[in-house]
Amino acid sequence: RYCYERNLAVNPQGGNTGLVGGSVPVFDEIILSTALMSRIISFDKVSGILVCQAGCVLEKLNEYLGEQGFVMPLDLGAKGSCHIGGNVATNAGGLRLLRYGSLRGTVLGLEVVLADGSALDCLASLRKDNTGYDLKQLFIGSEGTLGVITAVSILCPQKPRAVNLAFLGCQSFAKVLETFTTCRAMLGEILSAYEFMDEKCMELVEGHLKLSSPVTDSPFYVLIETSGSNSTHDEEKLNNFLEQAMTSGLVTDGTVATDDKKIKASTWFIWISLIHQMLWSLRERITEALTRDGYVYKYDISLPVGKLYDLVTDTRARLGRSAKNVVGYGHLGDGNLHLNITAESYSHSLLDAIEPFVYEWTARYNGSISAEHGLGFKKKQFIQYSKPNEAIFLMQHFKAMLDPKGILNPYKTLPSSS
């Protein structure tokens, strides 16, 4: 309210882990941090509904819920520092979306402070509420441009009793796709993650981070996670799938870490936990390995699953030796590609070769130029590659209505007026 009355711009900031500059001030905005808003307000064990303030760190929430026998419906590489308010404001996706869906489905209610300082209390704890417009959806993914999220009500699933991992090698991306089709058909309801990465990713992880992969000499790698309530049932399904994948030639090599609760020795559980952590590290620490390879150009793209890796191949051919490495990895089950290009240092001519080529390529196949990271400051001028002019015009109307003075996170998400 103070800033609204004095026409002072405000930049809401949570864990500051975004990749598109959404939480970074551009000029002289006042930073409004949610770091001290870290209280868990309530948790209902019967419904699984958590109500908490926006500054709660995702990993801390997951630890709290774990003690109650539940988990957060999202999991991110930045979980140790990102805030749930920022997750909701950017509609973060992550590793569990395949199983639990997006935040647009799991967030039940929000408390939001509007540009003039008034509080909008839509902090519902109901799974069904058809009374009028679903206002919370306006703020989910709005990146702090329409209001500041201060509290969240979110539906949390029960913690799975049995978690299994399989790390597999495939000889082509066509095999990766066919393996996914077979995996989805045979694992059904227990499939919780299907991640892929190319051999360049593994080379960087092994070279820069000294992590060793249990599977080698494959052009592509797949990490599959199952989560269920019966270890015997889940292992049987996973073993049947692996047998089918191996005998049909979809997979050339692989390793499995099963969560066998029949063995009670504590040392066994520690060992299994370390194996799980090691396998996930091969996927989650790709970003860290890339930063050690040089300057990184990052692209977060949604595409029809069959076209996912073609963008990497075409970008690699286009850039040739002007780029150090061009790699592709991501959430294949969601059609989400992380295209990363590294160079020894920032080069404007290299950026010109990448953009708008990547966005034009994505638009050609009806993809999205931002699958889960938002637009922020860095991507806002490219929104037209994913949204028609009519939609952008409507978004600008929403912004003008809710923030008539334009003080909330200015210069972000929506393109500048010409």
Give residue 126's pLDDT. 86
Domain positions in the chain are 1-155, 162-291, 294-374
- Between 322 and 267, the higher pLDDT residue: 322
Pairing of strands 336-343, 220-228: unpaired
Evaluate if residue 263 carries a pLDDT over 70: no
Quick check: do 1-155 and 294-374 share a fold? no
For residue 269, what pLDDT band results from cuts at 50, 70 and 90? very low
Q: Report, as an integer, the average pLDDT of 315-334.
A: 95
Angle between helices 173-187 and 231-247 (to 10 degrees): 150
Give residue 117's pLDDT.
96
Q: Has residue 418 got a pLDDT over 70?
A: no
Q: How confident is the model over 62-76, as a mean pLDDT?
A: 94
Phi/psi for 330 (5° steps) reads 150, -165
- Note the pLDDT of residue 268: 40
For the chain, the average pLDDT equals: 92
Instruction: Flag the least confident range among 60-64, 65-69, 258-262.
Output: 258-262
Please state, in angstroms and rounded to a whole number, the distance separating the CA atoms of residues 114 and 240.
Answer: 53
Can you give the pLDDT at residue 265?
A: 39
Identify the burial level of 340 via C-beta atoms within 10 angstroms of its C-beta, where 0-12 means exposed, 13-18 middle and 19 or more buried: buried
What is the share, in percent, of the chain residues with pLDDT greater than 90? 79
Taking 70 as the threshold, does the pLDDT of residue 138 lie above it? Answer: yes
pLDDT beyond 70 at 393: yes
Q: Has residue 272 got a pLDDT over 80?
A: no
Identify the pLDDT of residue 213: 87
Query: How do residues 273-282 score in pLDDT, each as one tens digit?
Result: 667 778 888 9
What percent of the chain is modeled with pLDDT above 70? 96
Q: Assess whether pLDDT exceeds 70 at residue 237.
A: yes
Question: CA-to-CA distance for 151 and 119, rounded, in angstroms?
Answer: 11
Q: What is the pLDDT of residue 274?
A: 67
Residue from 175, 186, 118 nearest 403 by CA: 118
Closest CA to 180 of 329, 306, 280: 306
Q: What is the CATH number of domain 162-291?
A: 3.30.70.2190
Determine the pLDDT at residue 76: 86
Over residues 245-254, the mean pLDDT reads 92
Give the whole-angstrom CA distance, residue 161 versus residue 175: 30
Q: Which tens digits make up the pLDDT trace of 87-117?
A: 999 999 888 888 899 999 999 999 999 999 9
pLDDT given at position 273: 60
Predicted pLDDT of residue 401: 96
User: CB neighbours of 222 closer than 8 A, spacing ≥ 6?
Assistant: 166, 167, 168, 169, 170, 176, 179, 180, 194, 195, 196, 251, 332
**151 against 126, higher pLDDT:** 151
pLDDT grade for 259, boundaries at 50, 70 and 90: low
Residue 11 has pLDDT above 60, yes or no: yes
Selected from 1.20.140.10, 3.30.1330.60, 3.40.630.30, 3.30.70.2740, the CATH number assigned to the domain covering 294-374 reads: 3.30.70.2740
pLDDT score of 264 more than 70: no
Stretch 21-47: mean pLDDT, rounded?
Answer: 94
For position 94, what pLDDT does the model report? Answer: 84
Pick the CATH number of 1-155 from 3.40.30.10, 1.10.10.10, 3.30.465.10, 3.40.50.880: 3.30.465.10
Q: Cα 74 to the chain's mean position, in Å?
A: 8
Whether residue 352 has pLDDT greater than 50: yes
